[in-house]
Structure 1
Amino acid sequence: MEAVFELYGEAGRPTLRAITERVDEINERQEAGATASRETVRRMFRGQIPTGWGSVRVTLMALCEFAERAFDSQEDDEEFALGNGLYTGRFDIYMKRVWSEALANPEPYKKDPWGTEPPF
């Protein structure tokens, strides 16, 4: 789920603790109904796909707040940039589709993006 890594970069690469604290704040403000532990977030960043959309959704909401990006805009024709692409539509719906596709075909995501080899 490269889109998650792109969003994480836009968010300024917050720590796992900062992300989960923001998740808790979102739940207090909005009663999002889902949570994500540090371990869940860590696993997401290591390429494991959570089976529940709720944990993914609230984690993405937290990253969007760090990145000052709207997560659930009501505009169906909104344009947003992610990575090298420009997309039209609602960001939350786009990310749910990415998550759903990753669940349906997890093989490309099983490799640890931060494995033993440094990226340089």
Structure 2
Amino acid sequence: MPSKDVLPPGPKRELVAELYVHYREAGRPALPQIEALTGTMPNPHKVSRETIRRLLTGQTTSQWAVVDALLRALCQLQARDPDDRRWPKPDDQYEEDDPETCRDYLRRLWNDDIDGLDPGEAPAIPPAVPSARPASGGWGGTPPTSTGGWGSAPSQPKQDDPWATGAPPQPSQQSGGYSDEPPF
């Protein structure tokens, strides 16, 4: 594990620390052994020993498929399922109904590292902004204001649709009642 001088506290250090937990639990296997295992597991994703070294030292974040392959290889060496619940930290209260798995936790740390979020900081979801643009096109809509390209006004004048305007139907001239036939 890199020192705090080499890898300062933050999202990347949290990700590397979690990978190191699995690396230690697997018995600190040699990088060639992990590399070979990533290519022979079910759903293999071959990871080079250099990439493994760079992940474990915090020099790269890599793609999720690579990080997941490393996790699966380390879990296989531990005879552990990566989709089992993650073990608690020493100061945590172990809750039987905690659904977070080793893979879920590592993926969250990986996303935090990619996004540059501090551990435990939730990403902000921007509020929905109502569209300032009026509805355009279609029956009864406001015609578009652009002069060309996608969303431009049609070259032919728009036909009125009496069924969509909300206007009351016109009485039939023949029977004195309303016609069941559309007016087109």
TM-score by length of 1: 0.70
- Please give the alpha-carbon distance, in whole angstroms, between the structure 2 residues aligned to 1:45 and 1:106: 20
Contact 1:64 1:70 survives alignment (8 Å): yes
1:77-116 equivalences under 5 Å are 78=85, 80-81=86-87, 83-84=89-90, 85=92, 86=94, 88=98, 89-105=100-116
Structure 2 residue corresponding to 1:14, chosen from 29, 43, 65: 29
Q: Which runs of 5+ in 2 are unaligned?
A: 1-14, 119-184
| Structure 1 counterpart of 2:87, one-letter code | A
1:20-31 equivalences under 5 Å are 20-26=35-41, 30-31=42-43
Structure number with larger C-alpha Rg: 2
CA RMSD of aligned residues (A): 2.2
Name the % identity: 28
| Number of equivalent positions | 98
Contact 1:6 1:82 survives alignment (8 Å): no
User: What displacement does 1:69 show?
Assistant: 1.5
Decide which structure has greater strand share: 1
Contact 1:19 1:62 survives alignment (8 Å): yes
Q: Which runs of 5+ in 1 are unaligned?
A: 108-120
Q: Deviations over 1:44-98 (max 9, x none)?
A: 111123331001000100000111221124xxxx4x3155355732221111111
| Structure 2 counterpart of 1:25, one-letter code | T
In the TM superposition, structure 1's runs of 4+ consecutive aligned residues that sit over 6 Å from their partners are none
Q: Which of the pair has the greater relative contact order for Cα pairs under 8 Å at 6+ separation?
A: 1
Matched with 1:51 is 62
Contact 1:36 1:59 survives alignment (8 Å): yes
| Structure 1 counterpart of 2:32, one-letter code | R
Distance verdict in 2 for CA 1:62–1:81, change over 3 Å:
same
- Please give the alpha-carbon distance, in whole angstroms, between the structure 2 residues aligned to 1:102 and 1:70: 24
Matched with 1:113 is none
- Please give the alpha-carbon distance, in whole angstroms, between the structure 1 residues aligned to 2:37 and 2:29: 10
